[in-house]
């Protein structure tokens, strides 16, 4: 019998760590499966996904820039993907394609792993794009004390905050107050601009970057380190969101800590 096939689709996607992570999970569960990557042109998501499933694919992860196209493409959507307007995990069923978004769950599990309890915490989210959208609902359900969204373009901060009850918003240059947890959800760090907020904003806070880099700390983590009470990049979240996808597909909950340790040696 041939092995079950999984893949991640994106553009660019060759750098993705998902194949490494899922193959490590499969070794734990002693499943025989393959996990590859599919790079399609910007307008090629629908045909790429359809070809993969027509050939017998058992599950697909979706990454940049296709998560909102995947949201439109699937037949059913879970609560997390509806909130995020984005799908990162697709499972074929008899009734049609089910879409999930495991990013928010991934963040919450990684905060738990780090011992950063969100309960009652004053949380500041930097950014109001797709990455921010995916984490607001899970944070609110995690019993945080308060959530504020700060964005360079204030209108987008207001629009995102308005979609949720009790969420505040402000401009990146207007942040005031004290924060227990600050989460970088802007893509700014990717371009070496860590200093998107003043160090005063980050003082004594737990500072989490949704992103990670293979060549050392992210600019946001480097910027925060001087004043934060602790810092983390998003590699743990990447492993946790993958673990949730694996559970959705295969009903098996992998051990994430050992896989994260392996990845730290790799990246
Ligand atoms: P993603 O899906 O990764 O969130 P996105 O939807 O393009 O990507 O959103 C990018 C986010 O990073 C936005 O909040 C953006 O701010 P604007 O809405 O003002 O564009 C933010 N961002 C990107 N570059 C930035 C920079 N140099 N300084 C501050 N914020 C930045």
- DSSP string for 174-233: G--S--SEEEE--SGGGGT---SS-HHHHTT-EEEES---TTSS-HHHHHHHTT-SEEE-
Domain shared by 66 and 124, yes or no: no
Assign residue 251 the CATH number of its domain: 3.40.50.10860
Answer positive or negative: Cα dihedral of 75, 80, 83, 87: negative
Residues with a known catalytic role: 67
Number of independent structural domains in the chain = 2
Domain shared by 144 and 39, yes or no: no
**Mean pLDDT of the 25-52 span:** 97
Assign residue 111 the CATH number of its domain: 3.40.50.720
Domain shared by 115 and 185, yes or no: yes
- Range of the structural domain that residue 112 is part of: 104-233
Domain shared by 225 and 112, yes or no: yes
Domain shared by 26 and 114, yes or no: no
**Residue of 127, 135, 234 with the most ligand 1 atoms within 8 Å of its CB, for mutation:** 127
pLDDT in tens, 66-88: 999 999 999 999 999 999 999 99
Ligand 1 midpoint to CA 185 (Å)? 8
Atom of ligand 1 nearest to the CA of 131: 4
Domain shared by 96 and 152, yes or no: no
What is the rounded distance in angstroms from the CA atom of residue 3 to the CA atom of residue 24? 15
pLDDT in tens, 147-180: 999 999 999 999 999 999 999 999 999 999 999 9
pLDDT in tens, 198-247: 999 999 999 999 999 888 899 999 999 999 999 999 999 999 999 999 99
pLDDT of residue 2: 78
């Amino acid at each position: 019998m041939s092995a079950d096939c999984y893949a991640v689709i994106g553009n660019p996607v060759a750098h993705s760590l998902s194949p490494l992570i899922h193959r490590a999970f499969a070794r734990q569960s002693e499943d025989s499966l393959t996990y590859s990557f599919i790079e399609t042109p910007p307008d090629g998501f629908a045909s790429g996904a359809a070809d993969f499933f027509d050939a017998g694919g058992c599950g697909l992860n979706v990454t940049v820039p296709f998560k909102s196209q995947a949201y439109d493409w699937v037949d059913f959507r879970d609560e997390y993907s509806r909130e995020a307007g984005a799908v990162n995990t697709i499972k074929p069923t008899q009734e049609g394609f089910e879409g999930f978004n495991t990013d928010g769950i991934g963040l919450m599990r990684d905060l738990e792993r780090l011992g950063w309890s969100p309960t009652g915490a004053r949380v500041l989210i930097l950014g109001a794009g797709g990455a921010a959208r995916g984490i607001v609902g899970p944070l609110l359900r995690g019993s945080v004390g308060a959530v504020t969204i700060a964005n360079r373009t204030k209108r987008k901060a207001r629009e995102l905050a308005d979609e949720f009850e009790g969420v505040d918003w402000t401009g990146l240059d207007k942040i005031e107050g004290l924060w227990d947890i600050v989460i970088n959800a802007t893509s700014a760090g990717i371009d070496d601009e860590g200093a998107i907020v003043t160090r005063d904003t980050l003082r004594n806070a737990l500072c989490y970057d949704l992103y990670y880099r293979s060549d050392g700390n992210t600019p946001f983590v480097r910027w925060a380190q001087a004043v934060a009470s602790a810092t983390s990049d998003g590699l743990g979240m990447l492993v946790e969101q993958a673990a949730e996808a694996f559970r959705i597909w295969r009903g098996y909950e992998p051990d994430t800590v050992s896989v994260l340790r392996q990845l730290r040696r790799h990246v």
